[in-house]
Amino acid sequence: MNEVDFRRLQQILSKPQKIVITTHRNPDGDAYGSSLGLYWFLKKCGHEVKVLSPNDCPEFLKWLPGESEINLFEPEPVKGKEILSEAEIVFTLDFNAFHRLGELMGGAMHTIDPVFVMIDHHQQPDDFAAFQFVDATMSSTSEMVYQFIEGLGHVEFIDQDIASCLYTGILTDTGSFRFPATTSHTHRVVADLLERGADNSEIYNRIHNVNTYNRMQLLGRALDNMVVLDRFHTAYITLSQNELNRYNFQRGDTEGFVNYALSLKNVMFAAIFIEDKKQKIIKISFRSVGDFSVNEFSRNHFNGGGHINAAGGRSELSLKDTVKKFVEILPSLKNELTLS
Ligand code: 5GP
Ligand code: MN
């Protein structure tokens, strides 16, 4: 967003507005962290604010300040539509295309006409927002919300709740400050969030030290299912619906599994294929190290996208046929799937 647009938005926000903050389906730490951080901030500025998410978050995010106030679209679509239609401004956080909201809420977004403000760090945004605050080099949307607040000249509004929300988003999207998008700027923002009350150790514990026995067993199954294709420096994992059921799968349980495949020596491309019988799809996560763009790969072959090194996708084929399709694409990418 250029300076002129930013000042125009600042002008709009200088009067109390009816604002709805939306984020993507299957919200992660950055989706909820950025949304709730912005929620508390905009409330402090005197706006009437609601957060609307397509569906619920994993258990390990339930402690986030304000989580219980979030409205869920899918369980109550009539109420969700009402909330959307009353909004003067709709913020879209951590996604850049309506289909990321799922069919129900995505469809509803096409029927409203508020001022859309996008804050997001994914590549190739759709063109629906009057104000686009987009930077694919940013570690997380939460880091961008911090910048947004800073741009408005109100960092002093960041209290412990806002700091905890934004810290959570940065922590989860950077893989605890490991991923390449983690910059000195990220650390400066984080340093300020700590000074404003975010408790790094407690937040880490709440997010990561909540493993269940079932989840550990499911991880064991996933690792057992892992296949390594040495020729293509690629590894993938599958989990069928039956396997998920056996270990009483809960939302969020497979978070991070794909990284085990990527952590193998000489592997630069990793995928996990997870069967979802209810939605009749295979949900896929892709990860890479180096220049190989999983964003492009997923866009080209699996109806998805994301970032260069982390993307999601989906397939409507069976689990077996999805894997077959994946394996058959690899030879055409042999030159890109070489270690430098
Ligand atoms: P995950 O594999 O963790 O679901 O997603 C990895 C990254 O890709 C996240 O930043 C996520 O927001 C993004 N992503 C996941 N699925 C999709 C998709 O279908 N389309 C796009 N554009 N991005 C996705
Ligand atoms: Mn994010």
Q: What angle do CA 259, 29, 92 make, to 5 degrees?
A: 120
- Same domain? For 107 and 128 the reply is yes
Last residue of a domain, one of 171, 193, 208: 208
**What is the distance in A from the centroid of ligand 2 to the CA of 94?**
5
- Same domain? For 80 and 67 the reply is yes
Last residue of a domain, one of 181, 208, 235: 208
Question: For residue 29, which ligand has an atom nearest its CA?
Answer: 2
Report the domain count for the chain: 2
Here the CATH number for the domain that contains residue 79 is: 3.90.1640.10
DSSP annotation of 265 reads T
Residue 304 lies in a domain: yes
DSSP 62-81: TTSTTGGG-EETTT-HHHHH
pLDDT digits (tens, 9 = 90+) for 262-283: 999 999 999 999 999 999 999 9
- Same domain? For 197 and 124 the reply is yes
Residue 340 lies in a domain: no
- Same domain? For 247 and 119 the reply is no
Residue 244 lies in a domain: yes
- Same domain? For 196 and 313 the reply is no
Sign of the dihedral defined by the CA atoms of residues 245, 249, 251, 257, in that order: negative
Residue 1's pLDDT is 76
pLDDT digits (tens, 9 = 90+) for 92-104: 999 999 999 999 9
Question: For residue 171, which ligand has an atom nearest its CA?
Answer: 2
Q: Whose CA is nearest to atom 22 of ligand 1?
A: 305
Residue 94's pLDDT is 98
Last residue of a domain, one of 167, 188, 208: 208
Classify residue 15 by burial, with Cβ atoms within 10 Å: 0-12, 13-18, 19+.
Answer: exposed
Q: Hey, which of 92, 120, 285, 301 would you mutate to test ligand 1's pocket, going by the most ligand atoms within 8 Å of its Cβ?
A: 285
Within a 10 A sphere around the Cβ of 88, how many other Cβ atoms? Answer: 15
Confidence of residue 156 (pLDDT cuts 50, 70, 90): very high
Residue 299 lies in a domain: yes
- Ligand 1 is surrounded, with C-beta below 6 A, by 100, 122, 285, 304-307, 310-313
Q: Whose CA is nearest to atom 6 of ligand 1?
A: 311
Here the CATH number for the domain that contains residue 288 is: 3.10.310.30
Domain boundaries, position 28: 3-208
